Structure formats: C-alpha cells, structure tokens
Structure 1
C-alpha cells in the first residue's frame, strides 16, 4: 500500500483515491493552480509547502494561506462554480503533489457516501481555518498574530522568505523585522 495518505484513510479508500490521480512534481515558484484559469483538479501535498496568493494588477502579493504536507489544496469554490480562480497556489519549495482530476473526484463523491462525508470534513476544516484567520486579522495586533503564526507553523521560518510571512500576517516586512527584534530581546 502506498503511504501517501498515511492514516488519513482506510486502505481500501486510499486505494480508490490512488487509482484516479497521479503524482506531480513542482519546483519552487511553480503554480499548482493559476489565477484566471478554471481549476480542474485538487491536490494532496505529499512533500513540500504551498501558499494561496492573490496578486493584484500592480504585482503586490497577498498571502491568503500557507499549506503544509499531508493537506489538500484546491481553489474549490472556483472549481465547483466552473469559474476562474482568483488566486494562485504556489509551491514555496520543491514539492510533490498527488493530483486528482475534479471529474474523477466528483464521481467518487456522488457514488459513495464515505467520500461525501470525507468532503464534508474537509469543507468544515477549511471553514474553521478561514474563520480563525479572519478573526485574527480583525481582532489581534501584528505581534500577537506573529506569535500565533510561530505556534501554528513551528520551524517554518527557515523554509520561507520573511516577505511571505509578513504578507500572511497582513503587515509590511519592516514591521515584521521590528516585531522579530522585539521578541528576540
């Protein structure tokens, strides 16, 4: 049995998923999903690190989320509405993703109650993450957001550039530098 889904799924269900997808290798800076394109796949991060990022017309980047190994990635709302994604899913380091075509995924979900329940759990997890992120951005100061970031993503600072962390926190890189100096003392 391939260990790509570790303890996430029973063996028979993991094998069903393995039968409909394939491993894709992405280099640092590659996109799994591009803004402006209608997404046709979901992914499971086997190895690597990704971010959801908006890029405005001036090239300014806004990091919506950071996604680690053993998690699913998708521009799901765009995919289910058959509309272009508003954000990119960018590899922040060389990565391996198990890519699943949306049509094949839909077939599983529509024909087996297990996969519908599984999808519901993924959607619930995404909703909880989104609500927590919004709450922190609206109610917490930058220093507290940074401390929470370090707790949520231990040892990640060596894996990504500080400008991405600042973007995720909704602050300027200079502000992050000040916060890091303050915490270090």
Structure 2
C-alpha cells in the first residue's frame, strides 16, 4: 500500500483520514502471467495500481495479428480508461506479461472516492495526463524510425522491461518479426 500512496502523493496532498478511506477501498490481488486484467469486448470495471510485474495493452488487427500497443510497469495505474469511464466494451486487452501484484479498486469504489475526497479528481486528472504524455512520448519516436533505431529507443524507454518479457511482445510492439528482432539484437551486441 505504501507504493500506491507514494505514487499518489506525487500528484497532490491527502490527509490521513483520506488516505485511510482510500486504503479501505483497495484490494490487493495477484494476476498470473498471461491472464487478463481486462478484455476486448467487455466493459472495464476496475482500476489497478501495479506493485510488481509488467502488463501490456494489445489488440488484434484486421488480419487477426496480435499487436502490442504499450507496456505498463511497476508504480503505474492500469485501466482501460475509455471503457471504464464511458461504460462501453473495450477494444483492447490488458494482459499480465509477468506474474503481477496489483492494488485494485472496483468502479463503484473508485466513483465513491471521486465523490467523497476533495481534490481526488484533480490528482486523478494529473495522473491520467502524465500517462497520456508518456504514451505519446514513447510512441512518437518509433513511428518514422528504422527497426534498429526503434529497438534502441525501446531500450531507452523501457530499461527494466527488456529482459523480463518475451521477445515476441517486443517485436509486436516495434512492428517487426521476431527473426528481424533477433538479427537486430545480434548486430547491436
């Protein structure tokens, strides 16, 4: 729980009573590797905070190929925001790449926090803004670069992730085949 509050308090102030109230709504869970936190076609009903592990957001393109959009590592919130906020079916999967320990909040409890805690909405807005900026910063340089440059950029962006996730997911994220990624890695060493 300490990790969660260390994270939240970077975006605003809470008193002890507010912290205790948030803690009373939180549940710690473990999601085993390859299991889903939320799934395409279903409405997202919870917000999570990753204490340990890595998750990825992916979808299937119109050729039926799996495409990894991005990774979410420790000390970050995880939620399919569009689905959660608008109560519509998700278009993506959020999957545990490793065994993950999360603190989760149900939609009902999250909305109660928003209605009860003064300033909580501002804190949440700052967290979401940061996440969206990170997402853009992480994707933008990858769009126009060659595969080797994209891989080197990936290593910069996700330094703690590369040895913890399957190469197939990295290849999917970079938009290359696994054999191309293996060649790139061999040429870099």
Give the structure-2-normalised TM-score: 0.88
5 Å matches for 1:1-185? 2-5=1-4, 7-8=6-7, 9=9, 12=16, 13-56=18-61, 59-184=64-189
User: Which whole-Å CA distance do the structure 1 matches of 2:124 and 2:34 have between them?
Assistant: 28
Q: CA RMSD in A?
A: 1.9
Whether the 8 Å contact between 1:35 and 1:88 is mirrored in structure 2 is: yes
Q: CA deviation at 1:3?
A: 1.9
Gaps of 5+ in 2: none
Which deviates more from structure 2 when the two are superposed, residues 152-161 or residues 87-96?
152-161
Task: Look up the SS of the partner of 2:6 in the other structure.
Answer: coil
User: How far apart are the structure 2 equivalents of 1:6 and 1:120?
Assistant: 16
Worse-superposed segment, 71-80 or 7-16: 7-16
TM superposition score normalised by structure 1 = 0.89
Rounded Cα–Cα distance in structure 2 between residues aligned with 1:11 and 1:29: 38
Task: Identify if the C-alpha distance between structure 1 residues 141 and 11 changes in structure 2 by more than 3 Å, giving closer, same or farther.
Answer: farther
Gaps of 5+ in 1: none
Count of residue correspondences: 183
Q: CA deviation at 1:63?
A: 0.6
